[in-house]
Structure formats: C-alpha cells, structure tokens
Amino acid sequence: MPESTLQAGTIDELLRPFPPSPASVIPLLQQVQTRYGYLAPENLARVAEYTHAPRSRVYGVATFYSQFRLSKPGKHVVRVCQGTACHVLGAEKILDELKEMLRIEEGETTADGEFTLEVVRCLGCCSLAPALMIDNETCGRLTRKRVGEVLASWRGKDRA
Amino acid sequence: MSRVTEVSIGLATCGIAAGAAEVHSRLVSSLAGHGLPVKVKRVGCVGMCYNEPLVDVLSEDGTHHTYGHVTVKDVARIVSEHLVAGKPVEDLLAPEDGFFSRQVRIVLENCGLIDPESLDEYRARGGYEGLKRSLFEMTPSQVIDEIKASGLRGRGGAGFLTATKWGFAARETSPEKFVVCNGDEGDPGAFMDRSVLEGDPHRVLEGMAIAAYAIGADHGYAYVRAEYPLAIERLEKAIVAAREAGLLGEHILGSSFSFDVVIKAGAGAFVCGEETALIASIEGRRGMPRRRPPYPTTAGLWGKPTVINNVETLANVPWIVRQGAAAFARYGTERSKGTKVFALAGKVNHSGLVEIPMGMTIREIVFDVGGGTRDGKAFKAVQIGGPSGGCIPASLADVPVDYESLTQTGAIMGSGGLIVLDEETCMVDVARFFLDFIQKESCGKCTFCRIGTKRMLESLTRICAGEAGTNELDRLIDLSRKVKRHSLCGLGQTAPNPVLTTSRFFPD
Ligand SMILES: Cc1cc2nc3c(=O)[nH]c(=O)nc-3n(C[C@H](O)[C@H](O)[C@H](O)COP(=O)(O)O)c2cc1C
Ligand code: FES
C-alpha cells in the first residue's frame, strides 16, 4: 500500500522537477494525488511551503477543482459518467446499479477498500454511452451485465 | 489475390472502451504465430465509433477492408482467412453505409489513418509543410492575411474570427507573448478535441507553432482536461518527437523562430474552458473568470498578450496554410467557411465523429450521415452546443449549420456536441439536466449565476413535479432573461439557453 504522507526522501523527488512558485500548485497537487490517491493535510501544507503560496490558497485550489480528493479512496476509483449523451441513454440506471452492486453511495468507498464510486460529467466517450472509467481505463456500451463483469475483472487487481 | 501489407486498429479512448486493446494483443500474438510479415498499426478514431472495435486491412494493391465490432474470437478467422489465405471474411465486414460519402475531412484528414505516435507518418501526409511554408515563404502578417482570407472562425463556441484575434496580439509590442491551446472540452457530450489530440496530435502542435510565428510568441501551453489521460500521453510524445526533429524548440528548422509547448492538465472544472478562467488555472489559481476587457490578446497569461484558440481551430490552420485560403473557403456558407466537426451521440445510429461542410442542415447530419434515429423511433430534436446551447426541434431541422443561422434558433453552434433526441426523451428533463450541471459548475463569483441558476433549477423542478403555481413558468422565463443579461462570464450568460429554447419550442 502506498504511504499516506510524504516522506522526506520522496517529497524532493516529487517536487524537484517543478519550479518552486505558486504556478506549480496544480501540477504538484496532481503529482501528489497520482502517487497517493488523495491529498492529505500534511501534504497540502508541504506543497504550500514548497511553492511559497499561502496554505489557504493551496486549500482553495484543492477544493475548487473536482479532480482533487481530500480523503483516501479505495484501491480503484470508478468514475461513472452522467454527461448528456450518457444521461439520455440511461446513465442514471447504471449509477443506481453500481450503487446497488457496491452497496455504497457516490463519493463513498466499499467496506473492503476495493472501490470508490465517483460521478463525472463526460469522459469524452459519448459515442459508446453509457460509459465509465476505472482508474485510467474507459469502458463503454454499459449494461447491467457489463457493469458486473467490469467490476469482477478489477476486483483484487493492483492499482495501475 | 493481393498480399495484405498492413492492419490498422483504432485505439483511441472509444476503441479501447469497446475492447480494442484485447483485439490488438490477440492480433499481434496470432500474427506472430503465423510468422506473417504484416505491419500492425495503432491508429486514432476514424469516427465510426458505432462499429468499434475496428480493424482495417490494407492490401498491396491499395484496397481496404474494414471489419466492425471485432471480438477477440473473430481475430482467428480474420488472420487465417484474410491475412493468410487472402480471402476477406465477408460476414465480419462493416456494412457500407455511406457514413463518409458526404463528409469533408480537413481537421480529421489523418484521424484514424495514421499512427498518432509516428511523426514520419504525419510528415508523409504533408505534416509540418504548413509550418515550413510559413517560416520560409511568408512573413507573420502574410500568415495572418492567409487565415483572414480563409474566413476561419473559432471552433470553441463563439465563432470569433481567428485572424482578427491573431491580429490584435500581433499588434502588441510586448517581448513576451503566449499561444494557448484550449483542450478543456467541457461540453458533456462532446469529444471532437479528444479525438484530434489522440488521433493526430502533431497537427495541433503545428497549428500552435504557426499561430506563434504569426503573433510573435515563443511559448505555448496546451491545456487538456484531466479526464483525457490518453490525449495527454499522446500529445506529450508528440512534443518530444517534434523537439527531437527540430520542429519545436530553438531555431525551428534552422530559422530564427523559436517556440516550445508545455502541457497543462486541467483538474476538473467546466468553467476553466472559459478563457480568463483557463488563464487563472494555468497560473495556479482557482479557475474563476474575470471581467473582459482587457482581453487576453492584450493582457492574458501573466499579464502578457495571449492568443487562446480551441483545438479544432488550431487543427485547421496547417491545412489552410498548406492548401491555401481559397481551397478552404470553397467549403461553407457566406459567413461560415470550411467544415465543422461534430460529435454525434445520443439516440442516433451512427454515433461517432463526423466532419461536414458548413451549410449542411441538421436533418442531413442526423439522417444522411448519422443514419437516422435508433430503432426507428421518431426524431424529436437535437441538443447542440451543450450547456450554453439549446434544443433544435425536428420542425426546424432544415436549418443549415452556420454560426448565424444556429444563433437565430436560440441555440448556438457551440463546440460540436450534437446529441440526438427521440420521441422517448423528455425535453424538460434535458433542460433540467443542463441547469443542474450549470448550477453545480458555477464558480460562485457572481450572484446572478450562483443564486439565479439555483432558483431556476428549483422552479423547473416544481414545474416537473406539477407543483407549480399559475405564473411559475413566466417567472422562470423572466429570471432566465435576467441571469442571461447580468452574469459575469459566458457560463451564466448562456446558462438559460437550454431552458429558453425548450420553453419556446416545447411550450407544453
Ligand atoms: C463557460 C465557458 C466554457 C467554455 N469552454 C470551452 C471549452 O471547453 N473549449 C474551448 O475551446 N472553448 C471554450 N470556451 C470558449 C473560450 O472562452 C474561448 O472563447 C475559446 O477557447 C477561444 O478559441 P476559438 O476562438 O478558437 O474558438 C468556453 C467559454 C465559456 C464561457
Ligand atoms: S456524456 Fe458520457 S462520455 Fe460523454
């Protein structure tokens, strides 16, 4: 499992490629989230320190953009599309089915820590609506059966 | 019998989502098993998403055979019957349905045909010729004149004349200027920019470099939304390849012009597609729009003159410079020249990516190119332009695709999202869908947008639930007009469009 906080050694490795200026805040937060899955408070503070930006500004950025997570997600993040094309082709039902299969609401993580369920607006895969994305992989033409298969194939898999 | 030389597989996000990655690996291992000297190529999206996964087989004599809905199981037959024995597998071929016959491919000329990770393939099809021509045969102002003569207008939604925008930035004397490519593609239901970035990334870089030369910029940013990891990866590889070939970086192609591009990944905020919010985001701040003027061409990124163009706008530029403005202006209408790429989705048979000459009607797009509605259901309307656009009912479907004609319907051209709705779609539900979207995506800076859209949504919800008072609809329309008039940025100013067009065309 990944560490939840930045270690002295790894932080340099993660931050060093970026100039220590406030313009680096977003890419740095993205790096931290890619590595750890979310933005822990101590990591937000460290990014603020490194970029010479006030903590409030870093926190403001982290909460403004929907990509950022402030709590620890499950091993795989399921992002189900509720964009226009998916909406008119029954995406709401797919969301309900996911909730039922995983027994969680959107924004929550399953008890076994495998899956976190999130909602997004369009994955750019509208021609194969309804669609979802697990970690970085998109799946389209979803039906109830397909959703079940997709979840089964990811369960137990390591994070990509 | 003609020998098969090359097999292409569509591996854009849409292909992968339909299972093309598994088909690709099975094909590679199967060919290795037969020891066949056939090249397997990964290509972007040709637009026929409805037939994904797609496998295209090219023979020595130049003929193509396209297989659709290919499964891992089908691979064995395609290899043994077609690639080995030279006999196409008739029952697996995608039917000839006229999908391409009325399309004109400028922006998409290479999409789905070349390996997007191969600079050589892009160059073999005229890639970087436009940049070369600009640098060695034209002055920056001649480049702007050429774009002006082509009539190219911004494809990001508003349709602003590209040459005029470039002219404003060129006039500025600042020693530092920027070119920004807007790949935020926030309209939910649109995927034109993703397909171009994934299928032909060098074209966008070439367009940016030509723009930079025209205005005198030496730095560029490509802002791509976070939901497009594959587009970011392909663009990144293209940048590295272009630098190695001397097409980006110092002294491009040995000239005195230097230009380089950095990718900025978006972080999930619809409003960041708006140019001033996008600038704030690149600068590392919350993506909130600011009042214009000053326009970015005067004071943009870090206060410096900045040209912001949409991906598709920039993807037109190399073609125009290479083929000439007149060739481009041959297509289209009086005031809308060239082509427009649309992402066809919803209840349509041929959901996918299409490029049509401006002036084609909505009906022709839906029926002639799109193959009509699914399951023979009655065509009801199209939603065009996403959250800023509106619904055009079947009764107005003969409206030509042209900036002014579409605006007259109360919708807009938008960036290219085109969602087909049939008799089973509830129009009020669609209007409410967009209001819900806008209300959640409003950045909260100005009151009309923040509170107004919330009140509109509540009102519409009451109407849907049958709990509305007698004048609820009038009050909703009145509020819509106020939000339109008083919001700070385009998000709020256009947010009521879906409601207004719906109430106008579907009063009941
Ligand atoms: C709320 C809002 C969202 C926008 N989203 C996008 C977008 O996703 N992509 C885009 O290219 N332009 C978007 N625009 C338009 C940009 O502000 C800008 O006009 C455009 O990028 C200019 O490029 P063009 O002249 O090549 O069209 C948006 C505008 C508004 C008001
Ligand atoms: S609307 Fe779902 S992928 Fe675009």
A57, A82: one domain: no
Q: Is the peptide bond between B294 and the residue preceding it cis, with omega within 30 degrees of 0? A: yes
A135 vs B71: CA distance, rounded Å: 23
Q: Is residue B106 pLDDT above 50, yes or no? A: yes
Whether residues A60 and A80 fall in one domain: no
Per-residue pLDDT at A6: 46
> pLDDT by residue (tens digit) across A104-131?
999 999 999 999 999 999 999 999 999 9
Q: How many CA atoms lie within 13 A of B131 on its CB side?
A: 30
* Nearest in space to B317 (alpha carbons), one of B325, B306, B305: B325
Query: What's the DSSP call for residue B410?
Result: T
The secondary structure of chain A in percent helix, strand, coil, rounded to multiples of 5, reads: 45, 10, 40
CB-based contact, A83 to chain B, within 8 Å: yes
d(CA B144, CA B37): 47
Q: Domain B331-425 adopts which CATH fold? A: Ubiquitin-like (UB roll) (3.10.20)
Name which of A57, A124, A140 is nearest B228 (Cβ-Cβ): A124
B181 SS3 class:
strand
Question: B28 in ligand 1 pocket by Cβ < 6 Å?
Answer: no
Query: Which residues have CB under 8 Å from B171's CB, separation 6+?
Result: none
Residues B107 and B62 sit within 8 Å (Cβ to Cβ): no
pTM: 0.95
Residue of B155, B136, B132 lying closest to B318 (CA atoms): B132
Within a domain: A149: yes
State the smallest CA–CA distance between residue A30 and chain B in angstroms: 8
Instruction: Specify the length of chain A in residues.
Output: 160
- Chain B residues with CB under 8 Å of A29 CB are 267
CA distances from B347 to A88, A98, B98, B382 (A): 8, 23, 19, 10
Determine the pLDDT at residue B461: 87
Q: Are residues A26 and A60 in the same domain?
A: yes
Q: Are residues A60 and A125 in the same domain?
A: no
The C-alpha of A8 sits at a distance from chain B's nearest C-alpha, in angstroms, of 24
pLDDT over 90 at B258, yes or no: yes
A-B C-beta contacts closer than 8 Å: 143
Give the right CATH number for B119-327 from 3.40.50.11270, 3.40.50.11540, 3.30.460.10, 3.40.640.10. 3.40.50.11540
* Higher local confidence (pLDDT), B65 or B461: B65
DSSP string, B408-468: HTT----SSEEEEEETTS-HHHHHHHHHHHHHHH--SSSHIIIIIHHHHHHHHHHHHHT--
Q: Is A125 in the pocket of ligand 2 (CB under 6 A)?
A: yes
CB contact under 8 A, B345 and A26: no
* In a domain? residue A71: no
Neighboring chain B residues of A24 at a CB cutoff of 8 Å:
284
Instruction: Answer yes or no: is the C-beta of A86 below 6 A from any ligand 2 atom.
Output: yes
CA dist B88 and B80 (Å) reads 10
Q: Which one of the ligands is nearest to A121 CA?
A: 2
Q: Which atom of ligand 1 is nearest to the CA of B187?
A: 8
Regarding predicted confidence, which is higher, B325 or B471?
A: B325
Indicate whether B95 pLDDT > 80.
yes
Other residues' Cβ atoms within 10 Å of the Cβ of residue B95: 9
Q: How far apart are CA B246 and CA A143, in angstroms?
A: 48
Both tokens assigned to B493 = 């100013």
Say if residue A53 is in the same domain as residue A113. no
Do residues B401 and B157 touch, judged by C-beta distance below 8 A? no
For the segment B482-492, what is each residue's pLDDT rounded down to a tens digit? 998 998 888 88
Residues of B in contact with A90 (CB under 8 A): none
Task: Indicate whether A45 and A92 sit together in one domain.
Answer: no
CA of B337 to the centre of ligand 1 (A): 19
- Cβ(B152)–Cβ(B316) below 8 Å: yes
In eight-state DSSP terms, residue B82 is I
Instruction: Using pLDDT thresholds of 50, 70 and 90, give the confidence band for residue A24.
Output: very high
pLDDT confidence of residue B508:
61
CB-CB neighbors (< 8 A) of B223 in chain A: none
Whether B194 sits inside 8 A of A85 (CB atoms) is no
Q: What is the largest CA-CA distance in chain A?
A: 50
Q: Would you call B285 and A83 a contact, using CB atoms and an 8 Å cutoff? A: no
Q: Which CATH architecture has domain B428-508?
A: Up-down Bundle (1.20)
- Checking phi first, is residue A90 left (phi over 0); if not, alpha (psi -120 to 50) or beta? left
| Chain mean pLDDT for chain A | 91
Ligand 2 probe mutation, A126, A132, A138, most atoms within 8 A of CB: A126
Interface of A with B in 19-48 (CB under 8 A): 21-27, 29-30
Q: Give the mean pLDDT of chain B.
A: 94
Together in a domain, A58 and A120: no
Rounded distance between C-alpha atoms, residue A108 and residue A103, angstroms: 9
Question: Would you list the domain boundaries of chain B?
Answer: 4-92, 119-327, 331-425, 428-508
Q: What is the dihedral of CA B319, B186, B399, A127, to 10 degrees?
A: 80
Cβ of residue A89 lying under 6 Å from some atom of ligand 2: no
B468 band by pLDDT with thresholds 50, 70 and 90: confident
Residue B318: which of B167, B467, B176, B212 has the closest Cα? B212
Q: Who wins on pLDDT, A4 or B418? A: B418
Is residue A3 pLDDT above 80, yes or no?
no
Ligand 2 atom at minimal distance to the Cα of residue A84 = 1
Residue with token string 């082709």: A89
What is the C-alpha to C-alpha distance for residues B410 and B261, in angstroms, rounded to an integer? 38
Is B189 touching ligand 1 by the criterion CB < 6 Å?
Answer: no
Say how many Å lie between the first and final Cα of chain B, rounded.
62
- Confidence category of residue B305, pLDDT binned at 50, 70, 90: very high
Beta partners for residue B59, in sequence order:
B4
CA distance B379 to B375: 11
Cβ-defined contact of B188 to A84 (cutoff 8 Å) = yes
Q: In what order do the strands lie in the sheet with A137-139?
A: A115-120, A76-81, A132-134, A137-139
Mutate to test the interface with B, among A81, A88, A93, A134 (most CBs of B within 10 A): A88
Domain count, chain A: 2
CATH fourth-level superfamily of B4-92: Glutaredoxin (3.40.30.10)
Q: Is residue A80 part of a domain?
A: yes
What B290-295 contacts at long range (C-beta under 8 Å, 24+ apart), as own/partner pairs, is B291/B488, B295/B168
d(CA B159, CA B152): 9
A26 and B421 in contact by Cβ < 8 A? no
Q: Which of A41, A64, A87 is the last residue of a domain?
A: A64
B437: chain A residues, CB-CB within 8 Å: 121
Q: Rounded to an integer, what distance in angstroms lies between the CA atom of residue B206 and that of residue B369?
A: 29
Tokens of B198: 């994934």
CB burial readout B306-331, b (16+ within 10 A) else e:
bbbbbbbbbbbbbbbbbbebeebeeb
B153 neighbors B235 (Cβ within 8 angstroms): no
- A29 φ/ψ sector (left φ>0, alpha ψ -120 to 50, else beta): alpha
pLDDT score, position A160? 61
A30, A57, A83: residue with CB nearest B265: A30
Q: Is the pLDDT of residue A7 over 70?
A: no
CA A122 / ligand 2 centre spacing (Å) = 4
Helix, strand, coil distribution of chain B in percent, nearest 5: 45, 15, 35
A64 with B269: Cβ contact below 8 A: yes
Q: Dig out the tokens for B439 from the structure.
A: 């209300």
CA angle B122, B128, B132 (to 5 degrees): 160
Q: Based on the domain organization, do A86 and A116 belong to the same domain?
A: yes
* Cross-strand partners of B136: none
Mean of pLDDT values over B276-291: 95
Q: Assess whether A142 and A84 both reside in one domain.
A: yes
For residue B186, the Cα-to-chain-centroid distance in whole angstroms is 10
Q: In chain A, which residues have their Cβ closer than 8 Å to the Cβ of B303?
A: none
Which H helix or E strand runs over B233?
Answer: helix B229-244
Q: Distance between CA atoms of B421 and B390, rounded to whole angstroms?
A: 12
Q: How many Å apart are CA B328 and CA B351, to the nearest integer?
A: 26
User: Is B222 near ligand 1, meaning CB less than 6 Å away?
Assistant: no
The minimal CB distance from A140 to the residues B18, B229, B282 is found for B18
Percentage above 90 pLDDT, chain A: 84
State the residue range of the domain holding A80: 76-154
Question: What's the number of CA atoms in the CB half-sphere (13 Å) around residue B84?
Answer: 14
- B10-14, B35-39, B269-273, B415-419, range with the lowest pLDDT: B35-39
The verdict on a CB contact (< 8 Å) between A64 and B227 is no
Name the residue among B14, B185, B226 with its Cβ closest to that of A140. B14
The pLDDT value recorded for residue A4 is 44
Average pLDDT, integer, range B148-168: 97
Q: Which of B415, B412, B424 is nearest to B498 (CA)?
A: B412
- From residue B30, alpha-carbon distances to B36, B57, B274, B276, B437 in Å are 9, 15, 48, 52, 46
pLDDT-derived band at A91, boundaries 50, 70, 90: very high
Same domain, A116 and A57: no
Pull the structure tokens for residue B197.
């970035």
Query: Last residue of a domain, which of A43, A64, A85?
Result: A64
What is the structure's pLDDT at B423? 94
User: Residue A133 domain-assigned?
Assistant: yes
